Chain A
């Protein structure tokens, strides 16, 4: 996409559903996927006479986030009513925060390629989520499910410091990584526990004044964030170059057609008439409380990454891969406790283990292959006791049947033949069975090398050491 001397200006509003057991102002359960309205109490339904009571854990989660991004923390938690009518908003107002967000200005660092950039976070505040309206279940009605109404949200607003779709994705990934590392959210975009709206505008480089921005909604994956923003930047540039105006509006991202379209906004021209929530007394946050939270923070992703790069001599990319979430980092360090080469551990985890986890749609925390298994497999490879392909087989076996590494190697006869003489004998067999190809290889058809190695592997049921085969073959060729 050619920017034609236009500079995109992007800000992201990320709504993170906090990993609490109950809602923000009621003790109703919040587990995903329950039958409609089975998690909506009198308070959640906004019945006459009900009152909100604040969930302590939500404050704790918000404070953790604030400390993690080095933000100013508000002295008092003050809530406000945001007033508008919609069926998924039972009280006719949302309890949110306006002038005194619990988390003030902070920042995060992102990396795009080799470049680092600091992205400002304007604020993060607590608010209750709305329920769900489903418009396509009935022909003449909309269906309202208030299970989600009242769940804890942390709305994180970035400064308009992002200049490309790529940066936006990196920022989103960073936020995701922070909230999951802190354990304050599962950050699952597909289930809606992390939602993202993007504010997009373009301007000429050097212009102080920002262009008119549009708000993009309905983006529920990292991939779609990128696509939606790219489309919108392009759309705006095309319009402006034609001399047309950009309307300040909300646009929905259509992932099937990969475009954004104007939304018949339910909140169009709405005057929210914010005022301080009279049913909740401002909660004081002490400096001691903030200090305690800071002390109790788990190691954050960047710090952990630096430490891995330094202590284990990992490359930036590799360190990034194993610190993708807390569980993976923890698995990685568990494997390392068995004294194996960190580089090998990275390769095995991010290569074969990830592939296996993906195939079975499992989280690393529920992996049937344990750190001990991985460690032992790597040890056996490092000691040249088994080959790479055998190790992969082992991995699959452990996943489906369980068992101990040493036992399985013995049982399945996976012990690698590294004995030069033994392998040479088999290699000679293969050469004699394939004289023509051997001559071709000798005369320069290098790619036949793999054929010979492959044949030896076949004859040894994968248990020959490919390195040794290659070495012996090279010797024979040079004779």
Chain B
């Protein structure tokens, strides 16, 4: 985050950038109404990200996801 930038401004900037990514990748398939609906969806995703980013974590907080080394002969 740039010094002096408020969280709201940062979030708004992120939403615009991410929406631009969506538009870049899929815009040719989308109507104006669909793009506007996607703005709301991207904003909602931004809100989800803000919520999970707000939880303090330490280096020891590992992802809860299974990973198992694999051997075909076992």
Q: Are A and B subunits of one complex?
A: no
* Residue positions of A touching B, CB distance < 8 A: none
